[in-house]
Amino acid sequence: MLTANNKSVAGSLGFVLLLCCVLLCATEPDKATRRWWSYTEALAADNMEGRDTGSKGYAAAEDYVIQNFRDAGLSAAGTDGFRQPVPMRSRKLNARASAFQIFRDGSAKTFDWFRQVTVAVRPGMPHTVRGPLYFIGDPATLDARKTRGAIVVVLGVPRIRTAGAPPPAKIPENAAGSISVDSLGGPEPPIWPVPYAASVTLAEASQKPMDLHTPVAFRINPDDAELLFVGTPFTCAELQHRRDLGQALPNFAIPGTLEATLTVDDTGIVSDNILATLPGSDPVLRNQYVVLSAHLDGYGIGEPRNGDAIYNGAFDDAAYVALLIDLAQSLHDSDTTFKRSLLFCVVTGEEKGLLGSRYFAAHPTIPKEQLAADLNLDQLRPIFPLKILTVLGLHESTLGQIVEHVAQSFGIRIQADPEPERNLLRRSDHFSFMQIGVPALNFVFGYEKGSPEEKSYREWYAERYHSPADDLAQPWDPEAAAKFNHFYAALVKAVANAPERPQWTPGSQFAKEHTN
């Protein structure tokens, strides 16, 4: 495993090399970019331990953000100074006390948690799951008697399905459990090993125990899927090939019995949102707030990948919490204020289901009627030149007109989400604000279909997304990062100084529920 020092040195050397490349190209490095990156280095360093929700590393990163907000002259806006504690419930599989085994011919094959198999952790999950194995290829011809008390095996579909892709198999209620073979297709292929198996919920949320008739859901690494089909007339590869060709698949019994023991550590945790304000200058508009949001949490320390167990989350989302710090410091240094006030909202638990932003939306420390807009920072990967920017929520409100106007001066083409099937609009913290009537935007580096930029984007998701490879040593484009950072600052200024408050666009799905 890489040590913290080794990895930190690797990250520092990587950035130095990038800056040297910029100098050789006769382009002076942007001082603001260097400062922004220094904040990123601090938040994504190994000593922050990946900033998992409620962890010691998260608390250390939280202290760092608060100190920098304080140094930038921001005012506390939480319920406990800068903090808004968010009570949660964590249920996490204890891999050491759990087992997944298939018994055949008097011998047992034990699978490794998180590398070969994982499980969806749910409240009230049974401690023991046992049953014969049965493959479902054609639900239409399935004999329900075959699956009673069985562990059914199905071929998984891509996590993000494109148009025309087959629907996921429906698991019979009379089954004791299911094993889905991960599909490698789709725009966001699964990454193994997975960090861990956990379910984190807001403590105040109503969590009914798992229905006794709900099958326990396992997933298996496709690299190990052939181990399931030992002793059958088929291989997993053959079955997948048939499905890809649109051919009918059989239903059949698989020799062997699955026995799984599941021990779940159930604990209460508290993790904080960080809230700070910069008052506006206009005597009327200062009562409206432009929310600048980003999430501080990552995946923490998990299953090692290539010897590295720290899921640093450099671009998901340390770099964009760093951008909020840098923006606050820049406004302080230049003694700049806008007509509207700014609410810096650094949230927790995004990776666990937008928990921090959902909690803030339910318990705003500033009345929601005073929240004029949210400009969220997530899903940004500055790994190629910034020519196109995908804006989530572009046509939902008049914020779209402002962002298009600001982008013109930067030579950036604005586009709506070209992959709505990925449901990115609902997958980051801006959505929590939209649900309470606050117009919001989120940003993704865009590309031309079939371009080298698209290839880089897909490779990032396949190799670095939610993995230890999203660290400080990864390659990135300083000029592209700087361009976005300057664009974001200009957009904040435009929205905060606009004479009219942003409004929902007629016909928006959110306009039907909310009016400002």
User: Are 338 and 211 members of one domain?
Assistant: no
> Looking at residue 174, which CATH number applies to its domain?
3.50.30
Whether pLDDT at 274 is above 90: yes
Whether pLDDT at 22 is above 80: no
Residues 354-372 pLDDT 10s: 999 999 999 999 999 999 9
User: Are 212 and 356 members of one domain?
Assistant: no
CA-nearest of 9, 51, 3 to 346 is: 51
In a domain? residue 514: no
Whether pLDDT at 140 is above 60: yes
DSSP 57: H
Of all residues in the chain, the percent with pLDDT exceeding 70 is 91
User: Are 79 and 100 members of one domain?
Assistant: no
In a domain? residue 9: yes
Domain that holds residue 462: 4-88+273-497
User: Are 336 and 433 members of one domain?
Assistant: yes
Report pLDDT for 481. 97
Whether pLDDT at 12 is above 70: no
Of all residues in the chain, the percent with pLDDT exceeding 90 is 84
Residue that terminates a domain, selected from 229, 262, 295: 262
Average pLDDT over residues 196-218: 83
Whether pLDDT at 236 is above 70: yes
* Residues contacting residue 148 through CB under 8 Å, at least 6 positions apart: 174, 175
In a domain? residue 502: no
In a domain? residue 144: yes
User: Are 450 and 380 members of one domain?
Assistant: yes
Report pLDDT for 23. 33
- C-alpha 455/C-alpha 463 separation (Å) is 12
Please tell me the total count of domains within the chain.
2
> Looking at residue 53, which CATH number applies to its domain?
3.40.630.10
Average pLDDT over residues 479-484: 97
3-state SS assignment for residue 237: helix
- C-alpha 17/C-alpha 31 separation (Å) is 16
DSSP 94: -
State the DSSP string of 125-143.
--SEEEEEEEE-S-GGG--
Report pLDDT for 18. 42
- Strands 440-445 and 388-392, sheet pairing: antiparallel
Average pLDDT over residues 254-283: 97
- C-alpha 287/C-alpha 369 separation (Å) is 10
Least confident of 189-193, 338-342, 449-453, 502-506: 189-193
CA-nearest of 277, 299, 297, 281 to 289 is: 277
User: Are 232 and 281 members of one domain?
Assistant: no
Report pLDDT for 514. 56
Higher-confidence residue: 300 or 163?
300
In a domain? residue 513: no
End-to-end Cα separation, the chain, in angstroms: 53
- C-alpha 190/C-alpha 295 separation (Å) is 22
Work out the angle at residue 298's Cα, subtended by the Cα atoms of residues 428 and 321, and round it to the nearest 5 degrees: 70
Using N-to-C axis directions, what is the helix angle for 31-43 and 478-497, rounded to 10°?
100
Average pLDDT over residues 196-203: 96
Residues 167-186 pLDDT 10s: 777 899 999 999 999 998 88
User: Are 68 and 12 members of one domain?
Assistant: yes
When the pLDDT of each residue in the chain is averaged and rounded to a whole number, the result is 91
Residue that terminates a domain, selected from 227, 243, 262: 262
Residues 314-346 pLDDT 10s: 999 999 999 999 999 999 999 999 999 999 999
Backbone φ and ψ of 132, nearest 5°: -70, 160
CB 134 within 8 A of CB 251: yes
Average pLDDT over residues 155-170: 73
Q: Percent helix, strand, coil in the chain (nearest 5)?
A: 35, 25, 40
Average pLDDT over residues 194-211: 84
- C-alpha 40/C-alpha 34 separation (Å) is 10
pTM: 0.91
CA-nearest of 128, 125, 92 to 209 is: 125
User: Are 400 and 418 members of one domain?
Assistant: yes
In a domain? residue 503: no
CB 501 within 8 A of CB 374: no
User: Are 309 and 357 members of one domain?
Assistant: yes
Helix H or strand E encompassing 497: helix 478-497
Report pLDDT for 418. 95
User: Are 104 and 243 members of one domain?
Assistant: yes
In a domain? residue 332: yes
User: Are 101 and 84 members of one domain?
Assistant: no
In a domain? residue 419: yes
User: Are 390 and 310 members of one domain?
Assistant: yes
State the DSSP string of 306-331.
TTEEEE--IIIIIHHHHHHHHHHHHH
Report pLDDT for 11. 43
| Helices (H) then strands (E): counts for the chain | 10, 20
Please state whether the peptide bond connecting residue 317 to the residue before it is cis, i.e. omega within 30 degrees of 0. yes
Average pLDDT over residues 477-491: 97
